[in-house]
Amino acid sequence: MSESWNRIAHLADLPGDGPFALSADGVDLVVVRVRGEHHAYAGRCPHQGALLGEGELDGDALVCRNHRWRFDAATGARQGGPECLARCPLARRGDELWADTSALRETAASAAPARAHRRLEDLPGPRPLPIVGNLHQIDISRVHETVERWAAEYGPLFLYRVGPNRILTVSRPELIEPILRDRPETFRRSPNIAPVFRELGVAGLFSAEGDAWRPQRRLAMQALSHRNLRGFYATLADVTARLRRRWEAKADAGATLDVAEEMKRFTVDVTSMLVFGRDVDTIGRDDDAIQRHLGQVFPAFNRRLFALLPTWRWVRLPADRRVDRAVAELRVWLRDLVAETRARLAAEPSRAEAPQNFLESMLAARDADGNPFPDEVIFGNAMTMLLAGEDTTAYTLAWAVHQLCDAPDVVERLRAEADAAGIGSGAAPPDIEAADRLAYAGAVANETMRLRPVAPVVLLAATRDVVIGDVAVPKGTWVALLTRPPAVDARHFGDPAAFRPERWLPNGQLPNGSLPNGGPLAHDPSVFLPFGSGPRICPGRSLALLEMRLVLATLYSAFDVERADGASDVREAFAFTMHPVGLRVRLRRRAALTAPGLPSLRGARPDAAATSRGRAP
């Protein structure tokens, strides 16, 4: 085996002990320093492929951020399991660190390929028409329901067409997880995603691939690290209190609320503070231009993603002109923010060494050649962070309210936990660790995401010929992953259609420490992937889970919530994310606040395999 040495870093770029997410010759590495000596290992966790460089050092242990697997930082051996990280030889040459990746590359190449017994043409699926394929059978606003119905009819591997594109649809969990692990080498986002995002001015981390993706990912991870979230917690608590005051005024006025829009006000304010350091206060205004403009982008993207022909490139219809105006207004707003931030960095050069928000990090960062990121990348990532932080968390919270309207027993348990934490008296948990102990609120969030995933379809494309299951998949084939069918399958979750948050608590216990009738439910969180899996797992999941716990605890500690008259017919709609339509509620202040205490939940957390707590868009 010939050696393959590559320079991976200047030592000056590796302050502290790490971990550091690096790469060489297409191989992901994690580098740590133990007692003054650097060690390098294969950069992906053997469990679900998360990037170990996004984890943390706890003493001499390298801890994966996803499911808290621990590895001896000096040897790579897993603590409490047989798995061991593959070591990568290192050499110091002057002020540079070099790695020999030949063994890691040979190991990857020697993995036995799966054998194919079927071709795409052999798979079942709905019969397509010439030219349009199955597009005539798809309601774009409810596309997820159509493909889920087809999966129930044709099985976990089936084929349908959108125009000339063949789409292999996968709903078998043992196939979904390896596909997500093999990104970005074997699977990437479908090829029409990047140009559509670019046309809408949001080409950034979400649509980036390959070498362009890694440096952008590192910046996002820094902004959303657990350390940064701990420092940001006081701001998050202030925004939550602002939302509560708004709801108190609405309750006193007897107003009805569009829950999804209310939650988006909260997430826009939170994300703007974290990403830009700017308080836009959409909560304080009933009609906010920023929120209105953001609401144009994802529906336009969804329409264009499934369009048979890119007609908007030839003829600008009214809907296209509306989204053009919205994006233009957002870009003006972002341009001013970027200019202000550049001026601040120029006036205070020390801020470049310790950026205070994501935008400062982007402006201070340099690419592999030492050049600053171009404005288009900065604008695109700013938009991406804002959009990703707005819709997904807000819609999950809205779906949680919808589920809780029919679950008074769950509301009482949620309320009891909040009261015990002192939230009912108007005070937020004092710090992020106390917020993390809102275990039942976290369980409600998990159960909501199991039943109502805001990303029910993940659309990818094969970058090379590959075998999925027993099917030969040619390079370029689109692959749609369905995330909900495995999570509502009785083989993985007992009583799968029921809203049962206790399934996410230790031993399936109820908040009083007892077990539900019939004992714990069947529970396989490995098939539950609301934030994805592998190297491209959602970087903002820790912030999202923290927001969900705080808002749910705040809402139900302070208010009685019921659907407004005529709002019982709530349906799912899809506009790149899945959201509720027709969900309006009325709030009433609680007549009395009690704090019975929940000793059985002290220190408990929702199932770590599902929530990935303790890790830090």
Q: Residues annotated as binding site for heme?
A: 538
Count of CB atoms situated within 10 Å of the CB of 374: 10
Q: Which residues are annotated as a binding site?
A: 538
Count of CB atoms situated within 10 Å of the CB of 306: 16
**Do the Cβ atoms of 488 and 497 come closer than 8 Å?**
yes
List strand residue ranges (DSSP E) for 54-127, in order.
56-58, 61-63, 70-72, 87-88, 90-93, 96-100, 118-119
Q: How far is CA 266 from the centre of its chain?
A: 17
Distance CA 522, CA 514 (A): 17
> DSSP string of 22-62?
EEETTEEEEEEEETTEEEEEESB-TTT--BGGGSEEETTEE
Name which of 118, 125, 123, 127 is nearest 153 in CA terms. Answer: 125
Helix (H) or strand (E) holding 310: none
Amino acid (one-letter) located at 251: A
Amino acid (one-letter) located at 283: I
Q: What are phi and psi of 25, to 5 degrees?
A: 55, 35
Name which of 181, 175, 179, 173 is nearest 49 in CA terms. Answer: 181
List strand residue ranges (DSSP E) for 529-613, in order.
559-563, 571-574, 578-581, 584-589
Burial class (CB within 10 angstroms; exposed 0-12, middle 13-18, buried 19+) of 329: middle
Cα dihedral across residues 424, 430, 432, 433: positive or negative: negative
CB-based contacts of 197, cutoff 8 Å, min separation 6: 203, 204, 206, 207, 301, 380
Distance CA 563, CA 38 (A): 58
CB-based contacts of 120, cutoff 8 Å, min separation 6: 159, 166, 168, 471, 472, 473, 474, 477
Residue 129 DSSP class: B
Amino acid (one-letter) located at 543: L
Maximum alpha-carbon separation in the chain:
75
Whose tokens are 């995330």? That residue is 483
**Do the Cβ atoms of 132 and 486 come closer than 8 Å?**
no
- Angle among Cα 86, 89, 95 to the nearest 5 degrees reads 135
